[in-house]
Chain A
């Protein structure tokens, strides 16, 4: 998704204003991709007529790490999908796994597995996943004690080695200069200090308020297997429950943090002595 923004920016760069031309880029988009496109459009990264959206319904995405665990950690040499099955040649012999058992978590509870906007649609609509369960994990985690939650957060963050793969893969992480890389002031240390890593992850996650489309990219690219979705879904849930906003679910929405609703927004966070 970054390519779109980069391509757009590059096409406008060092060109005299009068010579600027709209460059239309075709995007093959699943549901979550269209949500990202909507966020980019809301955030004015390109114009609607600069993308031609070829919508495709989506049956889900295989979670590579989960698959590897499922087959006992063996090295996959070759693989193919056949019906609802994945057939693989592995270092531990041939293996077959049911596709539905190894879909990414984000796909299993996907609410938007059909494109929200498109110029051309391909295929017939994908059957619904199980969106009712989307916050089950979050609710379970919310029920834990403060210290249990902190313990889990620190444990997960300790895995992080600051390779930035999550950020680089995230369609909403496109800031020209990420806060992590800013100086004057430097918001967060670049080293492996626990607090720095926690702050880096916390802030990156927090920047996803109203912007995380649950595409699962960050989770899938993380080499260390940090459970980022546990936290992202909370942000998604809050955004829905507090502001009635689901990231990128409609073109007419404004970024939820760019406005407020005097009558419906909760007031209980305001301190009154």
Chain B
């Protein structure tokens, strides 16, 4: 594996240089929020952040995406696909938990049975550069409980680790190696590796929040009707904040928008928290209350995804914990389930 060392203060420069050659997504400070956005070569990436407000999943799975266009012509309807349209791009500076989420999303969108052309095209054309978490994390971080680690490279093509004065850049995949030219030519030595290992161990230790994520699967298997589900949704507002913030939530809705003879078919995020999510044309709603919706969210993350893909659909970023307007804490929910 190719490894190089880069000076800390050159990082923004590297991102900007790349932005001159291709599309670069990087953390940007906007008022009180740090968000992932595309930057130009004169952009101001902001790397001194704990984690971005929103999850970077929108790079591959945008909030709203045109699937196809159609026009009514005298000869009938004419269609044109919007699939396979993706720019060469770099996602620069995501945290390992978020990089991990891409690996989880791949299991769904890029599987043997079904390949989502829109997602796959973007994923293939995008190089993910992760930045390890070496600073004290948020109190709500719990990546280590869900198969992640603060200095982990799952889902990333390049991993950058702050090892003091320098960043250790590890080119994990061949896609990553193709961008090596941007990272100077200072080869990393064994000392850097050792330093990284030390930092990684410390960082792992610093994640104090732990949940019995693996333990709840067999419990969930047999407790669909447990009265426990009546207890968690009481204060839930049925807003979609947790799901919109979540790096692994991936439910979507498809709608057509038509004006005159022209129309487009859109895919946009949806949320299992919304009452309309499962509402049927007849007016019947199989998940009539927030109880069923909350059960669905918990089941999906910790049981169904495990059933289907042998992985928990949670990366422990803690965004849902921080953003929930009524302080519902998924960690507490999992904890409680484990005691059933």
Which residue of A is nearest B236, CB measured?
A: A168
A12 interface residue, CB < 8 Å from B?
A: no
How distant is A158 from chain B, measured CB to nearest CB, in Å?
9
The verdict on A163 contacting B239 (CB below 8 Å), with A221-B325, A224-B53, A225-B32 known, is yes
CB distance from A67 to the nearest CB of B (A): 12
Whether A223 lies near B245 (C-beta < 8 A) is: yes
Judge whether A189 and B138 touch: CB under 8 Å.
no
Are B325 and A220 in touch, CB under 8 angstroms? yes
| Contact B139–A77 (Cβ < 8 Å) | yes
B229 to chain A, nearest CB (A): 17
Q: Which of A65, A68, A164, A191 has the most C-beta atoms of chain B within 10 angstroms of its own C-beta?
A: A191
Q: Do residues B268 and A224 form an inter-chain contact, with CB atoms below 8 A? A: no
B32 close to A164 (CB less than 8 A): no
Q: Do A191 and B241 touch across chains, with their CB atoms under 8 A apart?
A: no
Assess A192 versus B241: contact at CB under 8 Å? Given A75-B138, A225-B33: no
Q: Are B64 and A165 in contact (CB under 8 A)?
A: no
Decide yes or no: A69 and B32 within 8 Å by CB, A161-B54, A169-B325, A192-B63 being known contacts.
Answer: yes
Note all chain B residues with C-beta closer than 8 A to A193: 64
Neighbour of B63 across the interface among A69, A75, A191, A224, CB < 8 A:
A191
Q: Report Cα–Cα, A29/B255, bound state, in Å.
A: 41
B307 CB to closest chain A CB, in angstroms?
Answer: 28
Q: Main SS of chain B's interface residues?
A: loop
Contact in complex: B138, A91 (CB < 8 Å)? yes
> In the bound complex, how far is the Cα of B243 from the Cα of A65, in angstroms?
20
B55 to chain A, nearest CB (A): 11
Q: From residue A265, how far is it (CB to closest CB) to chain B in Å?
A: 36
How many residues of B sit at the interface, in one of the four size bands?
A: 20 to 34
Q: Is B238 engaged at the interface, CB distance under 8 Å to the other chain?
A: yes
Q: Complex formed: what's the CA distance from A65 to B325 in Å? A: 11
User: Bound complex: CA of A13 vs CA of B100, how far in Å?
Assistant: 46
Determine if B241 and A223 form an interchain contact, defined as CB atoms under 8 angstroms apart: yes
Are A223's CB and B323's CB within 8 A? yes
Q: Indicate whether A159 reaches chain B with its CB closer than 8 angstroms.
A: yes
Contact B33–A164 (Cβ < 8 Å): no
B119 at the interface (CB under 8 A from A): no
Q: Are B63 and A165 in contact (CB under 8 A)?
A: no
Interface positions of B (Cβ within 8 A of A)? 30-33, 50, 53-54, 62-64, 136, 138-140, 237-241, 243-245, 253, 255, 257, 266, 268-269, 271, 274, 276, 323, 325-326
- Footprint of B on A, CB under 8 Å? 2, 65, 68-69, 73, 75, 77, 91, 159, 161-165, 167-169, 181, 186, 189-193, 220-221, 223-225
Interchain Cβ contacts under 8 Å between A and B, 30 examples? A69-B32, A75-B139, A91-B136, A91-B139, A162-B240, A162-B269, A163-B239, A163-B244, A164-B274, A165-B237, A165-B240, A165-B241, A165-B325, A168-B238, A168-B239, A169-B325, A189-B255, A190-B266, A191-B64, A191-B255, A191-B266, A191-B268, A192-B62, A192-B64, A193-B64, A221-B325, A221-B326, A223-B244, A223-B325, A225-B31
